[in-house]
Structure 1
Amino acid sequence: MTDIPSPPGRPARAPERRDGMLSADLCIIGAGSGGLSVAAGAVQMGASVVLIEKHLMGGDCLNTGCVPSKALLAAAHAADAVRHSGRFGVNGHEPAVDFAAVHRHVHGVIAAIAPHDSVERFEGLGVTVIQAAARFTGPDEVEAGGERIRARRFVVATGSAAAAPPVPGLAEVPFLTNETVFGLTERPEHLIVLGGGPIGIEMAQAFRRLGAAVTVIERATILPKDEPEAVDIIRATLRRDGVVLHEGAEVAAVRRAANGVEVSFAIGGIPQDVAATHLLVAAGRKPNLGGMGLDAAGIEATPRGITVDARLRTTNRRVFAIGDVAGGPQFTHIAGYHAGIVIRNALFGLPAKVDYAALPWVTYSDPELAHVGLTEADARAAGHAVSVLLQPLAGNDRAQAERATEGLIKVVLGKGARILGATIVAPRAGEMIGLWGLAIQRRLKIGAIAASLAPYPTMSEISKRAAGGFYTPTLFGPRTRRLVGMIQRFLP
């Protein structure tokens, strides 16, 4: 998805047809969030643009990723609010979930956003859209839908797809991925989720709160990239919701069982079996590289994605790769960030480079887990002189008022109290983490946050409170008390 508005000015410059082929300044392969952002930005800046998409405009984010998953999570949150409203003196009860109506809600949200990413909108912007598969036929030429396109610069933005782990028997059983799970019109009786990363955890909690039995099987620990203290809170919440977690599990086989599937695994060498009606595989993603003729264009790639430098250029300097296919962090907002890097390089010749020092991510569980920058472990591994600020959410008045006190903020500081990273577990933590991302980007010290003014009562006060905690030992220590006593003797 792109959040770039439509241009108010003159019509864009269209690609020219020369010697039977289209000639453009920029040719973009893939109309997901990254490709759309490049196309919208470039055409408004005066470039002629060809955009090629073989499947759905909006890509994974709109159709099978961010948008439908957050719509499903919203339905699950509504169900859980009914279930636990008794704590506020409101009649709480087990909600009646109409899963077909939930399905309609999810796809209604997709339909509401789709026009923003549509062929019609982008053609209205002045982009030439070709709905076909693209294939490089040379270092500066692509073929798609019977058209040959030559461009000054190319952008590969084909994204990624769910990966199926090499588990014996998996290929012989029906299983869901993020590309198919939102097509369900009936609630699963029992859902096994294979994988405890953000997608697996979000879907596990959502389906459980909508009434399905849910089992998560993870070979390591859930959410392994996040701070352990934060993960502990999410783990406890999932278990309280009734999600069964099996961590440290080595999956041995998957097979059909009755009207569903059965997964065999071992924890600590002890074998176990779990049977369920449905299986969701959320065990990683793979870049979409097939059929593009990368060799013909001199573009190198590995199983992780297309090889790029810090400017997102491939081994063919005419070609850039962005988003998931570039083998870096796999987030929609990273694809949008990459789009800005490419526009500066491709249109203006500026040597803009990626910088992930303030990379944020959010797991949209309840409570949300949001992080930016370095974790404590990463900071120590990088050799920083680390100090940590930890503040529980229970000390926040707004959290108390909303009976949502399970959470925390953890801030990682380096030399001179410079902010290196932050993690927040709280309702809407994703809305609060941006302050810390800006602080890291601007290389601010903790005093900048401590001196800020936060409205009361808000969850975001936890950031100021954590920052103020850095000064507590000094501010309220014996030295300060002696100083205040001495000053008071001289004041009139």
Structure 2
Amino acid sequence: MSDSNHKPRELVIIGGGPAGLVVASVAGQLGVRTTLIERGPALGGDCLHTGCVPSKTLIHTARVAALMRRGAEFGLPAADPRVDLGAVMDRVRSVVDSIQAHDDPERFRGYGVDVVFGEARFAGPREVRAGDRRISGRRFVIATGSRPAVPPIPGLAEAGYLTSDTVWSLRELPRRLAVLGAGPIGLELAQAFARLGSRVTLLDMAPRLLPGEDPETGEALRSILEGEGIRVLTGVGVERVEKNGVVTTLRGRESETVFAVEVDELLVAAGRQPDIEALGLDAAGVAHTRTGITVDARLRTSVKHIFACGDCCGPHPFTHMAEYQAGVVIGNAVFRLPRRVDYRVVPRVIYCDPELARIGLNETEARRQGLDVEILRFPFGQVDRAIAENETAGEARLVVRKGRLLGATLLGPHAGELIHELALAMQAKIPVSRISATIHAYPTLAQIHRRAVNTLYGPRLFSPRTRRLVRWIQRLIP
């Protein structure tokens, strides 16, 4: 079937994940003649089917199992649940199916969007082919996302392995699981499977856990994971994998110590790579590298009527970043306004337990830039709500310069929810004194923000100079 004799579509979107769906939804409802092409069998992308939604569902189930074992901490009988992974995965599937209803193709067709399922490939800068269809367009949006990166380890393919795409097919809980990679995906799934009952070994090449974080933060999280029985090995490179379930590793580049880790399943969580190889970008003249499609601040590619957003162009592989970038593309491709990206305030969360949330600069980055900053710290162990819920691990670390927030790191309960007050403060350039002056409901975890900021003002308030001033006021005013 050919569309070559029809008028060019005003907008052609390649990829039915979060970014593509946001652009399609808005464009269609505004009356823009839009075609959305998705190569998979359903809309929603990796986030819905193999990423954020299934992983957070599994993480929550694993947390419930962990809480059951901790019953005695809350004055209840402890219980060690017998985990049926098949039943757990059935629940994961049901949650995905429930949310999938929001991404029904008929919903988008109701907006006037032509939804096409098939592999899209550029035949030129203004035409793509999807199956037997040829679709021409005035403007294009590439939103094809990313896929798990698999390192070239000898024996890995022959031995077999899982990724964040395929782990959801498991029906039996692995007795021994090795996780290659201690990034967000590796950390989250390692802890989840350990809490469900697997003996987990976490392997990473970096010399320490989370090298991009302040050392204290990485060590604190490592201590928590090891306290749950996870074997954490950093500074380890995988030399080869054997078919009988043995991962042979080499510790460090300078060490000659070689040792083996015996496992029943191997989960590769070594990062992600842009999913762009099948697009035929060279035929369209779109510049790209192994890290993704090259875009400018307006998310235009080297071919100005072709835009890209989401994981396929980076720089941050988050669903909320894809949705944000989709809004920038809508401004440029639909409204024809010169809207530019602003990555100054981008929250990011690792959904381990406790959660690790970051925004802006951490202390290490600020010092490296030569900035004169103050670090405000407050532990969750001194927040009454955290004490009441016996979730006292972690702390808030705020990076402040001249009374304004440059960044924050939260390691603690519900850190992913708490980070947004700080994100708003940074986005609106609110001085931290306003956080201190804001009434925070008691007892809430959010009080940690106010109490952290108060560590800046406390020494000044109770200084000898202030004490002398107060004594003078008391004598002067009856």
TM-score by length of 1: 0.94
Q: 2:15 aligns with which of 12, 25, 30?
A: 30
Task: Name the SS for the 1:324 alignment partner.
Answer: coil
Letter in 2 for 1:66: C
Q: Distance in 2 between matches of 1:160 and 1:21?
A: 32
Higher mean alpha-carbon deviation, 85-94 vs 333-342, is at: 85-94
Counterpart of 1:474? 460
Q: Is 1:214 the counterpart of 2:200 in the alignment?
A: yes
Matches for 1:231-242 after TM superposition, within 5 Å: 231-242=218-229
Q: 1:389 aligns with which of 372, 376, 379?
A: 376
In structure 2, the CA distance between the partners of 1:40 and 1:481, relative to structure 1 (3 Å rule), is same
Cα drift, residue 233 of structure 1? 2.3
Counterpart of 1:14? none
1:388-424 CA deviation, whole Å, 9 max, x = no partner? 111111110001111111110000112x122110111
Q: Is 1:59 the counterpart of 2:59 in the alignment?
A: no
The CA RMSD over aligned residues, in Å, is 1.3
Task: Name the SS for the 1:312 alignment partner.
Answer: coil
Cα drift, residue 442 of structure 1? 1.5
Cα drift, residue 262 of structure 1? 2.6
Higher mean alpha-carbon deviation, 201-210 vs 285-294, is at: 285-294
Counterpart of 2:274? 287
Q: Distance in 1 between matches of 2:280 and 2:325?
A: 23
In structure 2, the CA distance between the partners of 1:18 and 1:235, relative to structure 1 (3 Å rule), is closer
Q: 1:355 aligns with which of 342, 349, 357?
A: 342
Q: 1:345 aligns with which of 332, 355, 371?
A: 332
Task: Name the SS for the 2:311 alignment partner.
Answer: helix
Q: Distance in 2 between matches of 1:172 and 1:184?
A: 19
Q: Distance in 2 between matches of 1:251 and 1:304?
A: 23
Counterpart of 1:85? 71
Counterpart of 1:4? none
Q: 2:216 aligns with which of 198, 222, 229?
A: 229
Matches for 1:254-403 after TM superposition, within 5 Å: 254-257=241-244, 260-267=245-252, 268-403=255-390
Cα drift, residue 19 of structure 1? 5.2
Matches for 1:51-200 after TM superposition, within 5 Å: 51-55=36-40, 56-200=42-186
Q: 2:25 aligns with which of 40, 52, 73?
A: 40
Letter in 1 for 2:337: L
CA contact (8 A) 2:9 2:135 kept: yes
Cα drift, residue 426 of structure 1? 1.4
Task: Name the SS for the 2:238 alignment partner.
Answer: strand
Letter in 1 for 2:247: E
Cα drift, residue 22 of structure 1? 5.5
Cα drift, residue 440 of structure 1? 1.2
Counterpart of 2:469? 483
Q: Is 1:50 the counterpart of 2:24 in the alignment?
A: no
1:309-332 CA deviation, whole Å, 9 max, x = no partner? 111110000101111100311011
Cα drift, residue 213 of structure 1? 0.5
1:428-479 CA deviation, whole Å, 9 max, x = no partner? 1100101111111122221121111100000110001001111111111111
CA contact (8 A) 1:214 1:243 kept: yes
Q: Distance in 2 between matches of 1:203 and 1:392?
A: 26
Cα drift, residue 271 of structure 1? 1.4
Q: Distance in 1 between matches of 2:388 and 2:216?
A: 23
Cα drift, residue 47 of structure 1? 1.4
Q: Is 1:243 the counterpart of 2:247 in the alignment?
A: no
Q: Distance in 2 between matches of 1:194 and 1:137?
A: 38
Q: Which runs of 5+ in 2 are unaligned?
A: none
1:297-347 CA deviation, whole Å, 9 max, x = no partner? 110100000001111110000101111100311011100000000000111
Cα drift, residue 18 of structure 1? 7.1
Letter in 2 for 1:28: I
Q: Distance in 2 between matches of 1:233 and 1:38?
A: 40
Q: 2:414 aligns with which of 416, 424, 428?
A: 428
Task: Name the SS for the 2:182 alignment partner.
Answer: coil
Q: Distance in 1 between matches of 2:302 and 2:19?
A: 20
In structure 2, the CA distance between the partners of 1:22 and 1:204, relative to structure 1 (3 Å rule), is farther
Cα drift, residue 104 of structure 1? 0.6
Aligned identity (percent) is 47
Q: 1:419 aligns with which of 402, 405, 420?
A: 405
In structure 2, the CA distance between the partners of 1:205 and 1:286, relative to structure 1 (3 Å rule), is same
Q: Distance in 2 between matches of 1:228 and 1:367?
A: 17
Task: Name the SS for the 1:421 alignment partner.
Answer: strand
Q: Which runs of 5+ in 1 are unaligned?
A: 1-16
Q: Distance in 2 between matches of 1:175 and 1:123?
A: 38
In structure 2, the CA distance between the partners of 1:453 and 1:149, relative to structure 1 (3 Å rule), is same
CA contact (8 A) 2:3 2:136 kept: no
Tell me how many residue pairs correspond in the alignment.
473
Q: Distance in 1 between matches of 2:6 and 2:161?
A: 43
Letter in 2 for 1:403: N
1:17-44 CA deviation, whole Å, 9 max, x = no partner? 9752462211100001111111112212
1:150-195 CA deviation, whole Å, 9 max, x = no partner? 2221100000110111222222220000110011111011100000
In structure 2, the CA distance between the partners of 1:253 and 1:301, relative to structure 1 (3 Å rule), is same
